[in-house]
Amino acid sequence: MLPYLPGTAIPFDSRAGRDTYALISPIITATGGVSLSQLSQITGLEGTTIQNWIKRGWVTPSVNKKYGERSVVRILLINIMRGTLRLEDITKLMMIVNGDVIRMDDDILHDTELYNLLCTVIYEAENGRLWSGDEIRDRVNAHLPEGLPKRERNVLENVVLIMVQSAISGYFRQLAESEFDELEFYADEVGIAGHVAEE
């Protein structure tokens, strides 16, 4: 089971599903946006990291020091993939789907819809133990919006497939790092680390 809602530091909630963002949105809408420190708490990211992403043009800037839905969701999407993909590659994926970070008229799919689609497929992949590209692609296709032109549908399918694979890889990377930390603690307790270093 995923420990957190994707891209956040918010503990996983069993109500998460096709509209995971609905579990996050009350935090944002209640105050007309969130401050940088609140955004850091939601995402688990340092404020300097978020500010750097804004400087690079990957995220829309705050308005009156408040970050709205579009900024928050973009940060969540980047955060989901940053454990396994280079930030420049993540940015390319986001641009392929949503063009300019400010404009919305060039979006294949709004960031919030993209986040919900991504979360839905991540949950289904995890629950169904779907790890092959073909299995995940089938789940992506099952949830793509109707009525998209063929070219846009194909682009979106491939981008979401990459995003899901990145998210799953990141999850397993975190598990491996956690296991390694426990192993290092054990090695320190029994003196293995020192013994290996001496050889």
Query: Tens digits of per-residue pLDDT, 19-62?
Result: 999 999 998 999 899 999 999 999 999 999 999 999 999 999 99
**Residue percentage of the chain with pLDDT more than 70:** 92
For residue 6, what are its two tokens? Answer: 């994707």
Distances (CA, A) of 198 to 190, 193, 195: 15, 9, 5
pTM given for the model: 0.87
With beta carbons less than 8 A apart as the criterion, state whether 149 and 157 touch: no
For residue 69, what are its two tokens? Answer: 């839905």
The model's confidence at residue 99, banded by pLDDT at 50, 70 and 90, is confident
Q: Specify whether the backbone of 5 is left (phi greater than 0), alpha (psi in -120 to 50) or beta.
A: beta
